[in-house]
């Protein structure tokens, strides 16, 4: 018998050479004949279906912990060399079918489930003999079982016969003992070692033993399979007939069982009917219960709502109720000193009632109620009546009081000498009636000022939404609001200071504003008694003045607070009104207020100082609220859809900063600089977060936005130190983003070149340059391959591709020239470093010079 081609080592080596580079290992190779025609009588091919010589090779490839199996078809080229023709994956092998038209049994077909056209008849493979066929198919089945864990469908082939054939043809391996002089004992395999092995058979050892025992029971040999099969069929039929006969003999028992089953079925049906009736009743009861619960819930909710409504109406009625004692006091009450606490209490109630009937203390839904309107009219009538009565009383009372003091000379003269009058009684009476004084003029002036100032009613939103860059922000002039505030301060601050000074002078408070002339203050009694008397001050009290100043200042401030309290609300209203029109007005109002504060150092102006401090705090609070809201608008850009190019808040910030600089007055610089710091910080943080959502375009977005930030703030950064600091920060971030982006483009285009240089640099830390050419992957041949791949013939094309990649995703075309210059400079620096390394490690090798590369880049 001729030797099988499966044992041909030369054929195996030829197959391995044909698939070199695929990292696949050839398990078996065998010669076959490929046909696509119909096999006729005596195994001869029909006309037009000639056999073609082919080689089938089974190969495997390890991938991690997994192993893949392939069936390769190789054909002979014109030179007689094997070359790959087709590749099949064994995981897609679904069927192995023996061709029945071939009586020799050497022809079979392999069916794969991933072929595009299943209508085309798969090729037929014809082996030299049955042994070769069994070797190949057993190898395929063993690999499918071991690697893939399943077996394909086998049609027309007896798998048991194949397993028995495999056992008979398992190679015998013998051990030959060598002489002690020949060295250690070795194992030598016989020539049949290359045949198919059955380490894992299709039939296990236990199954085979059971089969042999069964065959022994029937006194049959291993080759009498057909007789054994026929005998088993006959015994199976006899067994089935015996079972049927046994069933027929047990008919009475079956009848009893059927009768019992019928009775049980009737009981079950009755039970089911009763259960159905109960289910209907229960469903009706459940529906009734649900209906009752629904009505109860509605009634309970109605009860809760009625209770809440009654409580709300009681609170409203309590608010609308006018106590009879307060009504009597406000309309007909006396203004005697003993009755003043009752009058003050009635006034406080009236003030609270008026505020309680206005928004936001009163729910807007109650404003149009008839009862509320009527009660508001009644309260307004009470206010008008009381103000008229109180004003008339105060005019008459203070006029008569001053006349009485002027007519009684004992207040300011004693035995022909002038003395300072005792104003303790007057001071007490002023304090008694101070709460009745109404400063209506300030409120009327503030209301008139607001109504006469024309300003936009629509608030400006600086950073909201994703509107385009070309949209202009409303730049309407709103300086009229801050001018109205300045006019308010210009008119009323001097008046309040004068009123405070007059009050202190009139009430004879010992404060620095009432210092006597220089001579008396220095203790010199120059002049006569007349000069001393004109000072309206007792000389003997000089020594005790410093001790009394603090007490007098405290008493003066309390009196001024009682006298002027309430006027600050009119100033606050102007501040709130201006801030609502345009928050930029807060900058100028802050500067205006700062200018007034240093001028109010006199102790008599304590109330004015407190008023200005409160105004400054309120303005700062309003501007801080604007800054926080603007920061939130910037942060909301982070949650928008994917954005490219320059973000909208970058150029808008430049417009905002220009507008803020126009409003700076006095000491508002710190306020604006703090706002700049918050704005720019949150802008840069938001920009980084948006850029990180798409790492592919991160550096492009950063460099475009930092460049836009610098371009839009160039003029302001030259005059504003705070913006100059952020300008330099943006410049550094821009340079870093440019460097990262350019390096990415360079390494993408010339990765092999500079990766080769990086490996050389890493090795130079551990070995000498002379040893590097002898390292794996760094030989001179490897260098020539890298240089040929990267720098031979198509350098200009690679550089042009690099320019196109730089241009591709850049939205700001004006940045392209500078970026390209940086890219060329960076590439030249890296190439120069590469040339120096090559000259140092490979002095005999030639590569394009730096001047050639510089000239090539200059021409691009």
Average of pLDDT values for 788-807?
Answer: 79
Which residues contact residue 92 at a Cβ distance below 8 angstroms, ignoring those fewer than 6 apart? 112, 113, 114
Q: What is the DSSP letter of 509?
A: -
pLDDT at 115: 73
Greater confidence (425 vs 516) lies with: 425
Per-residue pLDDT reduced to its tens digit, 546-555: 445 667 777 7
Which residues contact residue 549 at a Cβ distance below 8 angstroms, ignoring those fewer than 6 apart? 510, 511, 512, 603
pLDDT at position 289 over 50: yes
pLDDT at 642: 63
Q: How far is CA 200 from CA 197, 204, 711, in A?
A: 8, 8, 77
Q: Which two tokens stand for residue 595?
A: 């200018």
Dist CA 412 CA 828 (whole Å): 101
Dist CA 124 CA 43 (whole Å): 13
Q: Which helix (H) or strand (E) holds 394?
A: helix 370-407
Q: Residue 408 — very low, low, confident or very high, per pLDDT cuts 50/70/90?
A: low
pLDDT at 445: 57
On the CB side of 744, CA atoms within 13 Å amount to 14
β-strand pairing of 417-418 with 186-189 = unpaired
Q: Nearest 5°: CA angle at 58, between 53 and 61?
A: 140
Q: How far is CA 681 from CA 506, 584, 677, 725, 729, in A?
A: 56, 20, 6, 12, 11
Residue 602, burial from CB neighbour count under 10 angstroms (0-12, 13-18, 19+): middle
- Radius of gyration, alpha carbons of the chain: 54
On the CB side of 369, CA atoms within 13 Å amount to 16
Length of the chain: 860
What is Dmax (Cα atoms) for the chain?
167
Q: What is the DSSP letter of 39?
A: B
Residue matched to tokens 């730049």: 475
pLDDT at 725: 93
pLDDT at position 188 over 50: no
Q: Which helix (H) or strand (E) holds 107?
A: strand 107-112
Helix, strand, or coil here: 705? helix
Residue 220, burial from CB neighbour count under 10 angstroms (0-12, 13-18, 19+): middle
- What are the φ/ψ torsions at residue 71 (nearest 5 degrees)? -115, 115
Q: Which of 140, 145, 82, 74 minimizes the C-alpha distance to 111?
A: 140
Number of H helices, E strands in the chain: 28, 12
Average of pLDDT values for 561-586?
Answer: 81
Q: What is the DSSP letter of 183?
A: -
Q: Which helix (H) or strand (E) holds 188?
A: strand 186-189
The answer, yes or no, to whether the previous bond of 360 is cis (omega within 30 of 0) is: yes
- What are the φ/ψ torsions at residue 66 (nearest 5 degrees)? -105, 155
Greater confidence (637 vs 433) lies with: 637
Q: Which range, of 25-39, 135-149, 163-177, 295-309, averages the lowest pLDDT?
A: 163-177
pLDDT at 189: 35
DSSP assignment of 209-250: HHHHHHHHHTT--TT-HHHHHHHHHHHHHHHHHHHHHHHHHT
- Find residue 100's DSSP bridge partners: none
- Dihedral of CA atoms 256, 257, 260, 262 in degrees, nearest 10, equals -110
- Give the burial string for 86-100 (b: 16+ CB within 10 Å, else e): eebebbebeebbbbe
Dist CA 701 CA 737 (whole Å): 9
Helix, strand, or coil here: 517? coil
Dist CA 503 CA 555 (whole Å): 12
- Cβ atoms of 91 and 148 closer than 8 Å: yes
Per-residue pLDDT reduced to its tens digit, 270-282: 999 999 999 999 9
Q: Residue 219 — very low, low, confident or very high, per pLDDT cuts 50/70/90?
A: low
β-strand pairing of 93-98 with 417-418 = unpaired
Per-residue pLDDT reduced to its tens digit, 355-399: 788 777 777 778 788 888 888 888 888 888 888 887 787 777 777
CB atoms within 10 A of CB 557: 18
Residue matched to tokens 């009893």: 256
Q: Full-prediction pTM beyond 0.85?
A: no
pLDDT at position 528 over 50: no
User: pLDDT averaged over the chain?
Assistant: 77
Per-residue pLDDT reduced to its tens digit, 738-783: 988 888 888 888 878 888 888 888 888 888 888 888 888 888 888 8
pLDDT at position 44 over 80: no
pLDDT at 36: 77
- Dihedral of CA atoms 746, 748, 752, 757 in degrees, nearest 10, equals 40
Q: Residue 541 — very low, low, confident or very high, per pLDDT cuts 50/70/90?
A: very low
Dist CA 653 CA 627 (whole Å): 12
Q: Residue 300 — very low, low, confident or very high, per pLDDT cuts 50/70/90?
A: very high
Residue 141, burial from CB neighbour count under 10 angstroms (0-12, 13-18, 19+): buried
pLDDT at 118: 60
Greater confidence (235 vs 219) lies with: 235
Q: How far is CA 244 from CA 241, 719, 750, in A?
A: 5, 111, 85
pLDDT at 31: 92
pLDDT at 601: 61
pLDDT at position 487 over 90: no
β-strand pairing of 82-89 with 66-76 = antiparallel
Q: How far is CA 513 from CA 422, 605, 827, in A?
A: 19, 9, 78
Residue matched to tokens 């994703």: 466
pLDDT at position 511 over 70: no
Helix, strand, or coil here: 314? helix
Q: In percent, how much of the chain has pLDDT > 90?
A: 12
Angle between helices 251-320 and 370-407 (to 10 degrees): 30
Dist CA 822 CA 742 (whole Å): 8
Dist CA 595 CA 612 (whole Å): 10
Q: How far apart are the first and last CA of the chain?
A: 74
Per-residue pLDDT reduced to its tens digit, 416-463: 454 555 666 666 666 665 554 433 345 555 666 666 665 555 555 555
Q: Which of 167, 96, 168 minimizes the C-alpha distance to 133?
A: 96
Residue matched to tokens 């320019």: 803
Q: Residue 224 — very low, low, confident or very high, per pLDDT cuts 50/70/90?
A: low
pLDDT at position 124 over 60: yes
pLDDT at position 405 over 90: no
Q: Residue 149 — very low, low, confident or very high, per pLDDT cuts 50/70/90?
A: confident
pLDDT at position 150 over 80: yes
Average of pLDDT values for 84-95?
Answer: 90
Dist CA 255 CA 116 (whole Å): 60
């Amino acid at each position: 018998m001729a030797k099988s081609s499966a044992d041909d080592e030369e054929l195996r080596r030829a197959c391995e050479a044909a698939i070199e580079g695929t990292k696949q290992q050839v398990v078996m190779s065998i010669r076959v004949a490929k046909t696509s025609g119909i096999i006729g009588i005596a195994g001869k091919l029909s006309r037009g279906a000639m056999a073609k010589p082919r080689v089938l090779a089974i190969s495997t490839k390890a991938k991690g912990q997994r192993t893949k199996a392939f069936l390769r078809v190789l054909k002979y080229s014109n030179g007689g060399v094997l070359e790959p023709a087709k590749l099949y994956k064994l995981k897609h092998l679904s069927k192995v079918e023996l061709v029945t038209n071939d009586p020799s049994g050497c022809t079979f077909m392999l069916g794969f489930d991933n072929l595009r056209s299943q209508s085309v008849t798969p090729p037929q493979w014809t082996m030299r003999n049955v042994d070769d066929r069994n070797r190949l198919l057993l190898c395929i089945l063993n690999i499918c079982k071991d690697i893939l864990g399943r077996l394909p469908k086998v049609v027309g082939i007896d798998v048991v016969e194949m397993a028995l054939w495999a056992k008979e043809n398992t190679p015998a391996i013998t051990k030959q003992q060598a002489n002690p002089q020949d060295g250690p004992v070795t194992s030598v395999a016989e020539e049949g070692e290359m045949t198919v092995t059955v380490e894992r058979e299709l039939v296990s050892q236990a199954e085979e033993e059971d089969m042999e025992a069964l065959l022994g029971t029937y006194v049959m040999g291993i080759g009498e399979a057909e007789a054994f099969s026929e005998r088993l069929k006959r015994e199976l039929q006899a067994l089935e007939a015996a079972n049927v006969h046994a069933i027929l003999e047990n008919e009475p028992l079956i009848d009893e069982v059927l009768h019992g089953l019928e009775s049980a079925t009737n009981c079950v049906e009755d039970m089911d009917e009763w259960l159905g009736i109960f289910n209907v009743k229960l469903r009706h009861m459940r529906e009734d219960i649900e209906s009752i619960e629904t009505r109860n819930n509605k009634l309970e909710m109605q009860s809760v709502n009625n209770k809440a409504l009654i409580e709300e109406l009681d609170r409203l009625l309590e608010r609308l109720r006018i106590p009879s004692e307060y009504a009597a006091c406000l309309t007909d009450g006396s203004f005697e000193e003993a009755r003043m606490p009752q009058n003050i209490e009635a006034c406080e109630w009236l003030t609270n009632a008026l505020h309680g009937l206005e928004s936001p203390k009163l729910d807007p839904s109650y404003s149009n109620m008839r009862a509320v309107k009527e009660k508001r009219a009644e309260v307004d009538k009470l206010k008008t009546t009381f103000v008229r009565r109180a004003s008339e009383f105060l005019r008459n009372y203070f006029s008569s009081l001053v006349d009485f003091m002027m007519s009684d000379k004992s207040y300011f003269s004693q035995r022909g000498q002038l003395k300072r009058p005792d104003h303790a009684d007057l001071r007490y009476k002023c304090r008694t009636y101070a709460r009745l004084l109404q400063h209506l003029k300030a409120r009327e002036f503030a209301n008139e000022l607001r109504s006469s100032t024309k300003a936009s009613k629509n608030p400006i939103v600086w950073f909201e939404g994703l509107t385009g860059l070309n949209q202009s922000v409303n730049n309407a002039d709103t300086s009229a609001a801050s001018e109205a505030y300045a006019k308010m301060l210009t008119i009323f601050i001097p008046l309040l200071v004068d009123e405070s000074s007059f009050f202190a002078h009139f009430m004879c408070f010992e404060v620095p504003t009432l210092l006597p002339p220089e001579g008396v203050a220095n203790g010199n009694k120059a002049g006569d008694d007349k000069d001393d008397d004109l000072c309206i001050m007792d000389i003997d009290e000089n020594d005790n003045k410093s001790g009394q100043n603090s007490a007098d200042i405290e008493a003066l401030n309390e009196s001024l607070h009682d006298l002027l309290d309430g006027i600050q609300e009119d100033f606050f209203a102007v501040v709130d009104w201006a801030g609502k029109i345009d928050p930029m007005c807060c900058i100028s109002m802050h500067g205006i207020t700062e200018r007034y504060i240093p001028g109010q150092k006199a102790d008599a102006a304590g109330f004015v100082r407190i008023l200005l401090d409160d105004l400054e705090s309120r303005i700062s609070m309003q501007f801080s609220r604007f800054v926080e809201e603007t920061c939130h608008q910037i942060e909301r850009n982070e949650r928008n859809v994917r954005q490219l190019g320059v973000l909208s808040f970058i150029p808008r910030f430049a417009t905002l900063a220009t507008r803020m600089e126009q409003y700076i007055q006095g000491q508002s610089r710190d306020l604006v600089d703090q706002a700049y710091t918050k704005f720019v910080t949150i802008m840069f943080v938001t920009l980084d977060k948006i850029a990180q959502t798409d790492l592919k375009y991160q550096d492009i977005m950063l460099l475009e936005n930092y460049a836009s930030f610098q371009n839009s703030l160039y003029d302001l950064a030259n005059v504003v130190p705070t913006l100059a600091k952020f300008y330099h920060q943006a410049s550094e971030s821009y340079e870093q983003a440019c460097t990262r982006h350019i390096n990415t483009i360079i390494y993408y285009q010339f990765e092999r070149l500079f990766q080769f240089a990086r490996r050389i640099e890493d090795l130079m830390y551990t070995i000498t340059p002379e040893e590097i050419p002898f390292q794996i992957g760094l030989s001179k041949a490897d260098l020539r391959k890298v240089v040929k791949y990267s720098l031979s013939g198509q350098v200009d094309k690679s550089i042009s591709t690099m320019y196109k990649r730089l241009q591709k995703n850049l939205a700001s075309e004006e940045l392209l020239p500078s970026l390209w210059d940086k890219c060329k400079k960076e590439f030249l620096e890296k190439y120069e470093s590469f040339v120096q390394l090559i000259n140092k490690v490979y002095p005999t090798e030639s590569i394009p010079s730096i001047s050639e590369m510089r000239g090539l880049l200059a021409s691009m």
